[in-house]
């Protein structure tokens, strides 16, 4: 399920820009992990929701991981690997449908049901950071144009120590400090009746 290569690291690091994460190229680690959703979901842990690999228009290689449950409060799947303390995570997402919600998010520092979440919603003009510990609590919010339904977008976070930064479509929107959780795994998230496609989940550990 997991593919790692030097070429992937070079592509990811070049696209992200080391200085955008922490202000120092020295803080990047030497390996990146990019998950291949054209293969069975071996090692993934479904916390809630119905996650399936499907053909999705505009997806690289034609396929993506789609969350299709519509009756849950939240839908979460956790990727193999970790735990990670200092990390950068990115994913492409495409909100396909949803009347109550049409969101996609990155879960990070997931451990024993607790996690941070950064999410965007096609039905709202905000980009938000939460922590979840039995209930969801908002930590920070920024106003932005909603990511359009039926189009691909990019989410990105970095978490280094207590500093958490977030980007939507390469626009830096959030920079917040919080110390609820120190380390954990990474994953994906939707809410309520959101039907959302994800691909190119990439995890880049950060040194220092």
SS3 17: coil
pLDDT digits (tens, 9 = 90+) for 27-70: 444 488 988 887 888 899 999 999 999 999 999 889 999 999 99
User: CA distances (Å), 32 to each of 140, 141, 153, 174, in order?
Assistant: 27, 28, 21, 23
Of the listed ranges 5-19, 71-85, 159-173, 189-203, the least confidently predicted one is 5-19
Q: Where do the structural domains in the chain lie, given as residue ranges?
A: 2-205
Residue 67's beta-bridge partner residues?
51, 196
Domain 2-205: CATH superfamily is Exo-inulinase; domain 1 (2.60.120.560)
Phi, psi values for residue 160, rounded to 5°: -135, 110
User: d(Cα 109, Cα 118) in Å, to the nearest integer?
Assistant: 12
Q: What is the dihedral of CA 131, 157, 77, 203, to 10 degrees?
A: -140
- pTM score: 0.85
Q: What percent of the chain has pLDDT over 70?
A: 85
């Amino acid at each position: 399920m997991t593919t790692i290569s030097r070429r992937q690291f070079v592509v990811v690091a070049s696209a992200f820009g080391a200085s955008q994460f922490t202000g120092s190229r020295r803080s990047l680690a030497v390996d990146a992990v990019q998950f291949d959703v054209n293969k069975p979901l071996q090692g993934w842990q479904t916390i809630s929701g119905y996650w399936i690999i499907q053909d999705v228009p505009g997806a690289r290689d034609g396929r993506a991981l789609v969350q299709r449950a519509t009756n849950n409060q939240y839908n979460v799947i956790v990727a193999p690997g970790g735990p990670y303390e200092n990390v950068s995570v990115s994913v492409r997402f495409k909100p396909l449908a949803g009347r109550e919600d049409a969101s996609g998010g990155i879960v990070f520092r997931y451990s024993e049901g607790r996690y941070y979440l950064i999410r965007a919603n096609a039905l709202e003009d905000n980009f938000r950071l939460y922590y979840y510990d039995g209930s969801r609590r908002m930590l920070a919010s920024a106003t932005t144009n909603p990511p359009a339904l039926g189009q691909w977008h990019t989410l990105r976070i970095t978490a280094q120590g207590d500093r958490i930064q977030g980007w939507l479509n390469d626009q830096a929107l959030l920079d917040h400090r919080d110390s609820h959780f120190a380390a954990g795994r990474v994953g994906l998230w939707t809410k309520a009746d959101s039907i959302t496609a994800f691909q190119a989940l990439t995890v880049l550990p950060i040194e220092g």
